[in-house]
Amino acid sequence: MNVAILGFGTVGVGVYDILSPRSDINVKYVLDIVKHEGLTAVSTTDFNDIVNDESVDTVVEVIGGLHPAYEFISSALKSGKNVITANKMLVSSYYEELTALANANGVALRYTAAVGGGIPWLVNLERAARCAKICEVSGIMNGTSNYILDAMHTDKADFSECLKTAQDLGYAERDPSADIDGIDTLCKVVLSANIAFSTVINKDDVDVAGIRYIKDCDIAACEGMNRVCKLLGVAYDRKDYVSIFVEPTFVSEKALEASIHTNLNLITFEAEHVGRESFYGFGAGRYPTAYTVVEDCIDVAGGVKKAYNNVMNSSVIKNSDTVHKYYVRTDYNNDWFASISKENYANGFITEEVSVKDMHSFCNEALAAGKECFIAGIREL
């Protein structure tokens, strides 16, 4: 199988390194912004070289971002080439279109590395969904935010200090918004739910709260409850609708999630027959991520010629019936918040069970008004 790697950065170099010694998969092209010397592949800056070469079976997209990755992937699929990508932002944004394009052209669209990096999560989720109804996918899907929260618990350091260390170690981007605002987790939980529930979820319908506004007093409050704070992506298939959200969560210190340290990930599904199965490992990093991309290449070389989903039912997204208690620290109030029953706790409140929808609406309203607001679900997992 002849492969072209698009993007020669962190993951692209890893894919090249792992594939180069193999005799079954040949890296024919490497496309990047600039040409590279000394490669065994043809170095190009022009995607037309690749798409017009009929001997290229498979395109590996590891550029990232929406454009030109979208144009490259669409064009490759239309030309009958398999596509393997690690791009969670792109696939979760153009899910229905790209899946339909792959299926119409009888080629593969695989993106296992897009969720969980080095963890073989999506591929096992797909296998599970073949013979068991999956009712939940959830977990710690973003290594950067887990690193920051873990450091806040362990070192008793404040958020900005832990974020800076994460940046210095290369775990967080210079612009960390996607990680700390929950956007990266959003893309991953949407892709997981799409595969688990055979559906297509619009990211705009998902309630998302990140960890940008967490303070050390929130971690102290969490520890006072014998809990650990984790950023979770959560999706439930409730038969008539899907409930899906991203939020900081105070989990019991006995929960599996509580023992996930540094930048590691833990992702779980719950399915009939098998119960809960959790997958643990490196959610990012050059070689863990490249390893998963190469596993996709081997699957495609072995005959996998389809997108993850064949069936894409539309789902009603509803978070108004999913209820639990929340820890809330805010200087904002409105009629709804005044009306719910809550007790003072540390620098904030612990509410009665309220819906995810209502609590996220309140938090968004507070932040839009320029007020402080940090929320965390209090849940048994």
Q: Which residues are catalytic?
A: 188
Considering only 25, 62, 151, 376, the residue that binds ligand NAP (CB under 6 A) is: 62
Residue 170 within binding range of ligand NAP, rule CB under 6 A: no
Q: What residues numbered 312-371 form the site for ligand NAP, per CB under 6 A?
A: none
The reply to whether 113 sits near ligand NAP by the rule CB under 6 A is: yes
Q: Which of 46, 68, 127, 336 binds ligand NAP (CB under 6 A)?
A: 68
Q: For residue 162, give every residue at least 6 positions away whose Cβ sits within 8 Å of its Cβ, in sequence order, or none.
A: 147, 148, 151, 152, 155
Residue 233 interacting with ligand NAP (CB under 6 A): no
Residue 31 CB, nearest distance to ligand NAP (Å)?
5
- Calpha distance 265→378 (Å, rounded): 20
Residue 10 binds to ligand NAP (criterion: CB under 6 A)? yes
CA dihedral 341→344→347→350, nearest 10 degrees, is -40
* CA atoms within 13 Å, Cβ hemisphere of 197: 30
Q: Which residue in this structure is represented by tokens 């260390």? A: 165
Nearer to ligand NAP, 203 or 324 (CB): 203
Residue 197, SS3 per DSSP: helix
Interface map 73-92 toward ligand NAP (x if CB under 6 A): -------------xxx----
Among 1, 4, 8, 112, binds ligand NAP (CB under 6 A): 8
Q: Which stretch binds ligand NAP (CB under 6 A): 3-11, 222-230, 324-332, 354-362?
A: 3-11
Q: Which residue is nearest to ligand NAP (CB)?
A: 9
Backbone angles phi, psi at 331, to 5 degrees: -110, 20
Q: Name the residue nearer to ligand NAP (CB basis): 187 or 234.
A: 187
Q: Between residues 111 and 269, which has the closer beta carbon with respect to ligand NAP?
A: 111
**What six digits make up the tokens of 294?**
């190469």
Residue 119 or 356: the one with the smaller Cβ distance to ligand NAP is 119
Q: Which two tokens stand for residue 129?
A: 């969904």
Among 285, 294, 295, 359, binds ligand NAP (CB under 6 A): 285
Alpha-carbon gap, residue 357 to 365, rounded angstroms: 12
7 binds ligand NAP per the rule CB under 6 A: yes
Instruction: Report how far residue 222's alpha carbon sits from residue 294's, in angstroms, rounded to the nearest whole number.
Output: 40
Contact 219, 229 (CB under 8 A): yes
The residue type of 63 is I
Bridge pairing between strands 264-271 and 82-85: unpaired
Rounded to 10 degrees, the C-alpha dihedral 80/84/90/91 comes to 80
Please report how close the Cβ of residue 56 comes to ligand NAP at its closest, in angstroms.
16
CB closer to ligand NAP out of 60 and 244: 60
Q: What residues numbered 29-48 form the site for ligand NAP, per CB under 6 A?
A: 31-33
Tell me which residue of 61, 68, 71, 73 sits closest to 30, measured CA to CA. Answer: 61
Residues forming contacts to ligand NAP in the complex (CB under 6 A) are: 7-12, 31-33, 62-64, 68, 86-88, 113, 117, 284-285, 289
